[in-house]
Chain A
Amino acid sequence: MTIENELTALLSARADRPVDADALLAATLAAGRARTRRRHGAYALSSAGVAGVVAATLVFNGGPAPLADNPPVGWDTMPALPAVAGADGAAARPDLVGTDPTVLRFGVPWTPFPVQSVIWSAEADVERISIQMSSGNSQISGNVELRRGEGDSGLGNADVPDRTSSVTVDGQPAVLTEERFDWGPNRWVTWHPAPGLTAEVGLVASGLLTVGEEGVTAPPELSSVVDVADLMAFADAVRLDTTTACTAPLRIPEGEPLRGCSGSVDMTGPNQRHRYGILRIATETRPLTVEYTSPIPEATMSPPHTPDPSDFSGTPDAAPTSPFATPTGGPVRSDVKLASIARTLPGLRVSINYAVGDAAEASAVLTAITPAGDPDDPATWPPRPVG
């Protein structure tokens, strides 16, 4: 092989590993909105007078000072998500974990820190709730996962040595694993509520809420923000005797098999909630996904072309080609050309991403979608978004 060919193979080998697109989106939205709030706040403070700002800043001598224009926003603890009436949790029916994309067989009623965003997802064999929290100027990522099988998850880093110790979660033996990085520890606890079923809870300080004006986050010193007691309390709070609906503020028509579901809510400002989710109703080889988001403010994020809601079979949005992320971040087949159509419902923008050639089916699904519940309150969303 030539050096050029070796280089191509090397670069592909180092780069081509899965990326969690949903997590990237959630983190990016949180950081982008924090940036927007700071910018707007900075303008306001500038108008009010710089001298006061300087005086206030001097009070915080050393360390990342909390910005007066960026007050903490979010929920004091976990926002309520609906359970699925009549459905069993993993404690009673561990065999059902990862079998129904509309039901997560556990609940997370409490978090050790205030919550800024929640992402839930259910796919074949894996159910997960990820929570972004905050403590002071630090962002904290919590992850609760139930999965079939007893293998390792993706929380560990293969090249960093693990330190393990025995602990107890909800009366069951568990393993606490810790990896040490320069900027702090990565910790998670794993146990097996039933044979062939793994529960895993992670809690890690993952970044700073305020970043430098250049927009590039320095590796933060986060070693003392989250301790083992926080992680264990978070793990002990996980309920396996209840369920969480993989819910959405809409209903899609009955008849389409639902292959995966994910959703999220996040607090973007005082009393400003954002929602985003995906219902995947086809396979990766012929994707058809329903996405919902908060309405997109024209001034900040207007798309270049918004299709007429009455023209579902009209010209689709610019078609991304590949890779298109599935709800779990994996790419669909790279040769599948995608298009999308969109519609605005009260408090929601709904779009369908579909393989070129499936426009009629996509239009039919989009036409039949109906809003359900208060878009701002996931507790009012239907426990099952199909039918």
Chain B
Amino acid sequence: MTFEEYVLTRGPALVRLARLLVDDEHRAEDLVQDVLAKAYPRWSRIVGADDPDRYVRRMLVNARNSWWRRAVRRHEVPVAAVVPEPAAESGLDGADRQALWHLVAALPPRQRAALVLRYYEDLDDPAIAEILGCSAVTVRTHVMRGIAALRANLPAAGFPLTSANQTRSRR
């Protein structure tokens, strides 16, 4: 597969993944573009890997983490101000979904990445472990703690915004 073919076939999926790793549509695209630009000069080596797509996704997750550290020093992005949220089949109303997203966004980066890779990409523990560069046991720990953190902020009736905002303010 050439670099061009890879970007056309898998690029959209990378952007969708990035949308869940960062909170800003434009920065998600920037992040993917930069990761792919980094992959471009060494594509012949990357494409020779067992699973080039997994390799690039690992680059994406790592880049997100390093980008995030720099971005936090620069300025905060208002989460709610950027990404429109289309309707989804869910038991939650719009405000509750937004509150749940705030909780996800407030998770530590690796917990958040683990949840995204598990519940959006539908990957198993070994695959997530390869991307995150850790053991499958650590992946299970990240997922368990992430879910626990979300659940801890859930009152029985739903996801009140106050709880989400308090969690975000600790970031």
Q: Which residues of chain A have a CB within 8 Å of any CB of chain B?
A: 1, 3-4, 6-19, 21-22, 24-25, 27-29, 31-36, 39, 157-160, 181-182, 207, 211, 214-219, 276, 291, 293, 296, 299-304, 317-318, 320, 323-325, 329, 331, 340, 349, 351, 353
Minimum C-beta distance from A154 to chain B (A): 11
Instruction: Name the CB-closest residue of A to B47.
Output: A304
Which of A1, A7, A9, A302 has the most chain B CB atoms inside 10 A of its CB? Answer: A7
Please tell me which one of the listed residues A15, A296, A353 contacts residue B120 in the complex, with CB atoms under 8 A apart.
A15
- A32 lies within 8 A of B11 (CB): no
Name the residue on A nearest B29 (C-beta). Answer: A24
Instruction: Report whether A216 and B40 are in contact in the complex, using a CB–CB cutoff of 8 Å.
Output: no
Q: A207-B30, A318-B1 are in contact. Are A9 and B89 (CB under 8 A)?
A: yes
**How many angstroms between the C-alpha atoms of A55 and B63 in the bound complex?**
32
User: For the complex, what is the distance from the CA of A31 to the CA of B19, rounded to whole Å?
Assistant: 20
Chain B residues with CB under 8 Å of A349's CB are 2
Assess whether B8 is in contact with A13, with CB atoms less than 8 Å apart: no
State whether A301 and B90 are in contact (beta carbons under 8 Å apart), knowing that A7-B100, A35-B40 are contacts in the complex: no
* Chain B residue nearest to A213 in the complex (CB): B38
**A181: nearest residue on chain B (CB-CB)?**
B26
Q: With A4-B119, A8-B120, A15-B20 as known contacts, state yes or no: A21 contacts B11, CB within 8 Å.
A: yes
CB contact under 8 A between A7 and B89, given known A216-B66, A218-B70, A331-B12: no
CB of B50, distance to nearest CB on chain A (Å): 12
Docked CA distance A202–B92 (Å): 37
**What 17 new A-B contacts, CB under 8 Å, besides A24-B7, A157-B25, A300-B41?**
A3-B154, A13-B88, A13-B90, A14-B101, A15-B16, A22-B8, A31-B36, A32-B41, A159-B83, A215-B37, A216-B30, A217-B33, A219-B71, A300-B44, A301-B44, A325-B8, A329-B12
Size band of the interface chain B makes with A: 35 or more
B119 touches A7 (CB 8 A): yes
Chain B residues whose CB sits within 8 angstroms of the CB of A351 once the complex forms: 5
Contact of B81 among A10, A159, A207 (CB under 8 A): A159
Residues from chain A with Cβ under 8 Å of B128 in the complex: none
Contact present for A14 and B13 (CB under 8 Å): no
B12–A214 touching, CB < 8 Å? no
Is the beta-carbon distance between A216 and B15 smaller than 8 angstroms?
no
Q: Chain A residues near B33 (CB, 8 Å)?
A: 24, 27-28, 31, 217
In the bound complex, residues from chain A placing their C-beta under 8 Å from that of B55 are none
Which residues of the partner chain B approach A22 to less than 8 Å between Cβ atoms? 8
Complex Cα distance, B97 from A317, in Å, reads: 42
Tell me the B44-83 residues at the A interface (CB within 8 Å): 44, 47-48, 63, 66-67, 70-71, 74-75, 80-83
